[in-house]
């Protein structure tokens, strides 16, 4: 396979994975494009490479910035803005975990905490089943939360090292 074809495949696959994980396809594709660009590139070049409109490119870039996955860069003497992606996969994973925790896990834990407080008679199977499912899921979610918390502060080698050693 040639480099050009490889790049295409990479952008396509990253986009598909993104859309399966609730990140929109274009956003994942722009991220992929920046991941394989040695130099920062402009909105214009992104529009061109991916055949997307200016509006779409702009919104997507802002989203990626708010996710902490890319940054703007100014070049002296130029009006244009250049964008580049952090290429460190471990940083990317932490950034994504952090955002998803904030946007998805936290609100659910909050609701589960409330639902755990619902009172009822444990002899009533309706209530007993509800209560058990809610508290079990709550415990599980909190374990996931603690693991993410640790991951956010961990070094990559230590993290995988510990996990994989433990699982040997």
Q: Among residues 78, 121, 126, 155, which is the contact residue for DNA, using CB under 7 A?
A: 78
Distance, CA of 82 to CA of 45 (rounded, Å): 10
Does 162 engage in binding with its own copies (CB under 8 A)? yes
- Residues contacting residue 68 through CB under 8 Å, at least 6 positions apart: 95, 98, 99
Distance in angstroms (rounded) separating the CA atoms of residues 167 and 53: 47
> Of 4, 5, 52, which Cα lies nearest the Cα of 28?
52
17 lies in the binding site for its own copies (CB under 8 A): yes
96 binds its own copies (CB under 8 A): no
Phi and psi for 70 in degrees, rounded to 5?
A: -135, 165
Taking CB under 7 A as the criterion, the residue among 37, 58, 91, 95 binding DNA is 58
Q: Judged by CB under 8 A, which stretch of 41-49, 51-59, 63-71, 103-111 contacts its own copies? A: 103-111
Phi, psi of 37 (to 5 degrees): -95, 120
Question: In DSSP terms, which residues pair with 70 in a beta bridge?
Answer: 85
Residue ranges of alpha helices (H) inside the chain are: 3-20, 25-35, 43-50, 54-66, 89-100, 106-116, 125-153, 156-166
Pick one of DNA, its own copies, none as the site partner of residue 77 (Cβ within 5 to 8 A by kind). Answer: DNA
User: Applying CB under 7 A, which part among 77-85, 113-121, 135-143, 157-165 lies near DNA?
Assistant: 77-85
Contact residues toward its own copies (CB under 8 A) are: 1-3, 6-7, 9-10, 13, 17, 20-22, 35-39, 87-90, 93, 103-104, 108, 111-112, 114-115, 117-118, 120, 125-130, 132-134, 136-137, 139-140, 143, 146-147, 150, 154, 160, 162-164, 166-167
Contact residues toward DNA (CB under 7 A) are: 19, 24-26, 42-44, 51-56, 58-62, 77-81
């Amino acid at each position: 396979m040639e480099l050009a074809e490889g790049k295409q495949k990479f952008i396509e696959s990253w986009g598909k994975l993104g859309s399966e994980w609730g990140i929109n396809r274009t956003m994942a594709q722009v991220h992929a494009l920046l991941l394989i660009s040695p130099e920062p590139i402009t909105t214009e070049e992104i529009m061109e490479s991916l055949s997307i409109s200016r509006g779409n490119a702009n919104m997507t870039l802002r989203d990626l910035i708010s996710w902490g996955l890319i940054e703007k860069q100014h070049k002296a003497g130029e009006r244009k803005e250049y964008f580049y992606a952090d290429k460190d996969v471990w940083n990317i994973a932490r950034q994504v975990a952090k955002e998803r925790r904030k946007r998805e896990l936290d609100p659910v834990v909050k609701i589960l905490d409330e639902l755990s407080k619902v009172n009822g008679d444990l002899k009533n199977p309706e209530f007993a089943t509800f209560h058990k499912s809610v508290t079990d899921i709550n415990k599980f979610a909190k374990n996931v939360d603690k693991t993410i918390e640790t991951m956010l502060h961990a070094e990559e080698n230590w993290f995988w090292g510990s996990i994989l050693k433990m699982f040997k």
